[in-house]
Structure 1
């Protein structure tokens, strides 16, 4: 049936996180992430509803053997979107799928709360007393007493005839009433009460032969060997790795439909959804992680046993800072020639004179070669920041800059780099410091020194400032660049306050800038405002190289 605007039906489950939220917010029994990860790929059919903003507001699934037994589950619509025929559309889609894909005379059952009975009745579901009653594990009694959720109502087991639009769901009133008396639960006419457990801790001791959800270990959608690989590869897996671990293409398609595997490149999937904690130890929007994922995707696409990370991808895996927020996936294959991006990956020809370094089970070109490959393709600010970071991290030394400059000659874009080499200064402790220094230099007010020492009257060093100028009256102007990460914790704020008090107590003028100030280009204007027209000249000469 058509949905009212702006809603639309999307085939497949809504994804692990959205699935858990829909169950919780719509009033269904909450489930754990591990349960959702294991359950979603096992569905026979699924559909969900998205609104005009792309938010998932409803869902429904069918589980079964694909031959004759089908069970409708997870019928949920968010409260703010109910009474708009979304549940009708979801159930219609699921029943139409059974009718179109299942063999004749399928057997359809479901469980329902009281508010959903009218919806199911409109679609031909009826309760009858012609069949035996449903049974459940004895462990459910104790679980029901612990559960804070309302009990679900069993409509089934039963038989269904979809070809004549009549779905009959059977239950035994007499058996249900006797069962209810044993449970000391007031029976509902012709219906059995079947509470559901949310406690997944094993029974202590485990009951022999007990197959309740608390005693049976939930299966994982991916073998442990792949989960360990995903942790080491920024959540990514190659098709070849899945094949070697026994995860077939059919299984991968099911995992993709469930949102557990997400295609990234040809032959590469994002398996972050299969990890129990849903992460690999870093924020998903962390730029350094985004860059490392680009490097891993390139290696996995060409074959991690043959591919070599090159250029910006190699620098990202070395931990070099100052690169653009996103980089293109690129790798090299020994004996291969340069190929433009195909399937999202650039394959470089491998420099025969370059050496490689192994980090974990990944191979990278050496830092000097990676810099020579990456710098001509970067802007000046990013290139200088990358060099500063490489020197600061000890990957190269200051005199290696000339070696990289020689290696860049003859490459495409090398001409534009000729004026960059003298700007490199490995004393910069972050890309923000490098960019602030370059802004001041471009404005004609280059700092007199980096990591400038702030001394008291006795000459003792109290602190060091990121950038420093000597004012006309002999005082020191210090500029501090505060990054969002290192300076955002309470402990860092206390340390910065004490450090600032020490600097100001010496009579120095202190300016503090945030990452936003640097990105907006506001550092030079603020510094110029505090410098007198007859700016003091550098006493010992400007320092641009360590």
Structure 2
């Protein structure tokens, strides 16, 4: 019975350059053409045990091996590396190449041709990536308006970038394509927003002309013996009218979370709060219904 070929430790998990591995004597071209290895890109291979078709980080590792000096992983892929996953399914790796480089986009790599300053590129686990500030600047002006606000909110919430720094960078790059949109996004941005759907919900109501909402509002009540007590935190609120808006994600269906939600909801209602709960279907498909319900609640509480 033949033994399986030994896998060099250096090639066991991460993508690598086939030509460099051959020169180093770690593998042969004949081995790389065998079933133990997967060709990802021209000259870029990974061991079959380390290959995961939808692992964006693996593809970032692979693409980074092909980048020339002055290039970087950027845009949504950079945001992904910074901890913000807004990638569409089967997304390519987004890269920025300097103007002197030439490379066509492909199903696996989306190329943006523009020059980056040295200070706009950093290293993330060994990969060249646009800084958090440059990443936020690019996404905020290039994505569609709603997606741009979602990205900026998420990067602010994770503290990848600070709002004053983004505003200052924007002022220094006034006149660049998309900066008019980014300037509006900066005025709408909310670092306390905890999810893309919260951002989308807030933007729906803003665009409908409703009053500004308070994000992540702490609600307190009065206990007969203990005095002032914390009842819960709501996603969005109109404190003056005691109206709370909650986005219900899938995690709310888990038994323990559901039980806590019921207890919190009962406590809020007992304290005189009206709680409106919305799902992804509401936010993505029925924004007019959301506006109608919230407008009605404000009118009712305003009387």
Category of TM-score, reference length = shorter chain:
0.7 to 0.9
Deviation at 1:219, TM superposition (A): 2.1
The CA deviation string for residues 414-472 of structure 1, in whole angstroms up to 9 with x for no partner, is 344342221111110111111111112122335531112222135433111111135xx
- Structure 1 residues not aligned, in runs of 5+: 1-212, 230-235, 539-546
Q: 1:300-319 residue pairs with structure 2 within 5 A?
A: 300-302=65-67, 307-319=71-83
Change (3 A) 1:503 1:223: farther
Does 1:480 pair with 2:246? yes
- Confirm or deny that 1:463 pairs with 2:226: no
Q: Which has the higher contact order (CA 8 A, sep 6+)?
A: 2
Aligned counterpart, 2:279: 514
TM-superposed deviation, 1:408: 4.7
Q: How many Å separate the matches in 2 of 1:338 and 1:376?
A: 24
Moved over 6 A (4+): none
Cα distance, 1:498–1:248 mapped onto 2, change above 3 Å:
farther
Aligned 1:281-300 pairs, distance under 5 A: 289-290=55-56, 292-300=57-65
Distance 1:425 1:530, change over 3 A: closer
Length-normalised TM-score, structure 1: 0.47
Displacement of 1:516 in angstroms is 3.5
Instruction: Name the CA shift for 1:533/1:342 in 2 (closer, same or farther; >3 Å).
Output: closer
Match of 2:13 among 228, 243, 246: 228
Deviation at 1:318, TM superposition (A): 0.8
Q: Does 1:274 align with 2:54?
A: no
Between the aligned partners of 1:493 and 1:240, the Cα distance in structure 2 is 54
Distance between the aligned counterparts of 2:84 and 2:172, measured in 1? 19
Partner of residue 239, structure 1: 18
1:249 corresponds to 2:29: yes
Task: For 1:116-265, list aligned pairs within 5 A.
Answer: 218-219=3-4, 222-229=7-14, 236-240=15-19, 242-243=21-22, 244=24, 246-255=26-35, 261-265=37-41
Correspondence for 1:337 among 84, 89, 100: 100
Which protein is richer in helix relative to its size?
2
Contact preservation (8 Å) 2:96, 2:114: yes
Cα contact 2:120–2:130 (8 A) shared by 1: yes
Change (3 A) 1:436 1:228: same
Q: List gaps (5 residues or longer) in structure 2.
A: none
Which digits, 9 at most, give the CA deviation of each residue in 1:121-175, with x for residues without a partner?
xxxxxxxxxxxxxxxxxxxxxxxxxxxxxxxxxxxxxxxxxxxxxxxxxxxxxxx
**What is the CA distance between 1:410 and its match in structure 2?**
3.7
Kindly tell me: are residues 366 and 495 of structure 1, through their superposed partners in 2, closer, same or farther at Cα, counting changes over 3 Å?
same
Which protein has the larger Cα radius of gyration, Structure 1 or Structure 2?
A: 1
**TM-score normalised to structure 2 length:** 0.79
**Is residue 74–residue 129 contact of structure 2 (8 Å, CA) maintained in 1?**
yes
How far residue 266 of structure 1 moved from its aligned partner, in angstroms, is 2.9
Distance in 1 separating the partners of 2:237 and 2:28: 61
